[in-house]
Chains A and B, each alone.
Chain A
Amino acid sequence: MEKTAKQIRGDLLRPLFRSGAGYWLAVGLTGSMVLAGVFAFSYQVYHGLGVWGLNWPVFWAFDITNFVFWIGISHAGTLISAILRLANAGWRRPVTRCAEAITVFALFIGAIIPICHLGRPWLFYWLVPYPSERHIWPNFRSPLLWDFFAILTYLTGSTIFLFLPIIPDAAAARDLAHGWRQRLYGLLSLGWQGNPRQWHRLESAMHIMAIAIIPVAVSVHTIVSWDFAMTPVPMWHSTIFGPYFVCGAIFSGVAALILAMAFLRKFLHLEEYLEPIHFDHLGKLLLTMSLLWFYFTFAERLTTWYGNDVAEMNVFWSSVRQNFAPLFWTMITCNLIIPFPLLAIKRFRTITGTVIASSTIVAGMWIERFLIIVPPLEHKFLPYSWGTYRPTWVEITLMVAGFGMMGLLYLLFSKLVPMISMWELEAGIRKAPVVRRRAATFQPGAATARAGLTEPEPFVTDAPR
């Protein structure tokens, strides 16, 4: 039986007002991970960047891996949400906010990482292009500055894209809550009234945002890929990097979205909202991205192997046969061999199946970022500039803290805002019969019938003659 508006509001607002022990345990766990990261970062600030495992010639490693990984994860949300909104996919409604929140938090974490990488992080504002009496102007020719603009635009757009549909839900919480919560949601709702004028403006703005955010999302990860592709380092200087990175980003992002949805479903008791069909649809998308990712990986590797350039082949063999081979084949296993049967066979494409596949993909994509960055730096053009890299406890702790921060921000957000857009869900339920009627008119002959030219015949292919 379909739920009423009152039941939907009750179900989705409940986590805001009540939380079980499991929730607070998760907050404690993720908070501890973040605290460990704060300690590691403080240690690094006190002792300097030398506490990392970076050494000539490998000056980018764990930290930049994390940066690329989190920027990639951020692709799940806003991009997928925007595409589904524009396609008017009805099943998107319970999914979009979970996805959009991932984008904002992952971008936030991603944006912090380059600051950690600065020798003097407290001078991070020097990255901002502003007039200075020292005549220090950022170099607009540098891909690192392109990153600044791309991430700024994407973070701004994604935050607005997340915030706009929250406004009416915050107004609902305002009108149904008491005390400090009422004041808090009063501010968050900006005094939303719910008149038709506001609804139309909001929907128009959401539509424009959905259109604008897609090219921005694509540009962000393309520009991140150019951090590498614009550099003459073996296996970096490649034209395939832009689409390869965008593909990998969507791939890892969808996997992260499935994990987040499974978590919300279990801990916030949203079983009736995040249903197996949502995991099934996203599982199909994940399967497509897995194959696409493998296609790009194969194309990149084949081109390198066929070209047989000495410097590039050194990197190639180091990852396929030599010291990075265990990581490379783990990546292939995590991103293709395990997920493929789980996602391709309908019987396995369950919630459990998609969650297992997503878990391996998230791990596999982190390894992929590492393999893109470190082996080429270890094997530059001349053997005298070869070196090795081993991460230290500081870098590993910062990586763990990144995951902890993602979990913590997500948990706190789910305590503040309904994780499913209530008004969109209700509008979807109300419109469902209209959509079904409209879909029926897409049958062959129906358009002619509407124009009053002929009587429509029943669309039955095996009707007796």
Chain B
Amino acid sequence: MKAIYALYSDPDAAQRAVNALKTAAGSLGVGERQVVVVTGEPFDGYDFSDEHSQTHIFLLASIGGIVGAILGYWLTRFTQLSYPLNTGGMPIVTSWTNGIIIYEMTMLGAILWTLITLLFTARLPHFGKSLSDPAIWHGKILVGVTDPPDPARPELEKQLRHAGASEVKSTS
């Protein structure tokens, strides 16, 4: 993957770099999506992080729970109706006991749906090439641009340095 990036120790400096790159992006022929931030821990409270915070994962987990409940209801009710045991005159479909199964299936549905939503929205698994640097695991914040046009490289490097980077790296 072609990229130009810098590593920052300070999240404020990283934020300045992101702002500068996004401001300059239009004139340099770089799309905003090409501006990448990679960190070794979550950085809540900074725009470069919080702009991605909106998620429907709670809603989707609830839908998963409802789907689980319906499946639980279907499994218990129709099993009991299809293969009725001799209950000596008592109800074939037993709501109280089936409720326990339905409850567990509801929770299982919500849990599995949460996992599926996470994998889908976080785009995992992803085994292709991606921009990274082992220094992020030592507390650095990577800010860079993927697939930058060659004529724009000097200006991008200037913006990254101006935000406080001591070193700018390139990959090709």
Contacts and interface: CB of A to CB of B under 8 A. Distances in A.
A135 B85 CA distance: 11
Contacts of A4: 138-139
B41 A212 contact: no
Interface string B104-147: 11011011101101110111111110111010111100000000
Contacts of B82: 137
Interface in A8-29: 9
26 contacts: A6-B139, A140-B76, A140-B80, A146-B104, A149-B101, A149-B104, A150-B100, A153-B111, A157-B111, A164-B115, A164-B118, A190-B125, A192-B124, A193-B126, A195-B36, A195-B38, A202-B122, A204-B118, A209-B114, A212-B110, A212-B114, A215-B107, A216-B111, A219-B107, A423-B41, A430-B41
Interface size of B as a range: 35 or more
Interface string A162-192: 0010011000100110000000001000111
A139 B137 CA distance: 52
Contacts of A194: 38-40, 132, 136
Contact of B40 (A160, A203, A423, A434): A423
B170 interface: no
A9 B138 contact: yes
A201 interface: yes
Interface in B73-112: 75-76, 79-80, 82-83, 85, 94, 97-98, 100-101, 103-105, 107-108, 110-112
B53 interface: yes
A299 interface: no
A191 B104 contact: no
A397 to B, nearest CB: 33
Majority secondary structure, A binding face: helix
Contacts of A153: 104-105, 107-108, 111
A156 interface: yes
B120 to A, nearest CB: 9
Nearest to B131: A193
B42 A200 contact: yes
A175 B132 contact: yes
A432 interface: no
A140 B114 contact: no
Given A172-B137, A212-B110, A199 B118 contact: no
Contacts of B83: 135, 137
Interface string B49-70: 1111101011001000000000
Given A160-B114, A168-B41, A196-B43, 16 more contacts: A129-B75, A140-B79, A146-B100, A152-B104, A152-B108, A186-B127, A190-B125, A191-B127, A191-B130, A194-B39, A196-B52, A200-B55, A204-B57, A205-B114, A208-B58, A219-B100
A191 B40 contact: no
Interface of A: 4-6, 9, 129, 135, 137, 139-141, 145-146, 149-150, 152-153, 156-157, 160, 164, 167-168, 172, 175-176, 186, 190-205, 208-209, 212-213, 215-216, 219, 223, 423-424, 426-427, 430, 434
A200 B52 contact: yes
Contact of A201 (B80, B85, B121): B121
B118 A205 contact: yes
Contacts of B108: 149, 152-153, 156-157
A205 B104 contact: no
A9 B39 CA distance: 14
Contacts of B76: 140
B37 interface: yes
Contact of B134 (A176, A196, A216): A176
B8 interface: no
A426 B9 CA distance: 13
Contacts of A191: 124-128, 130
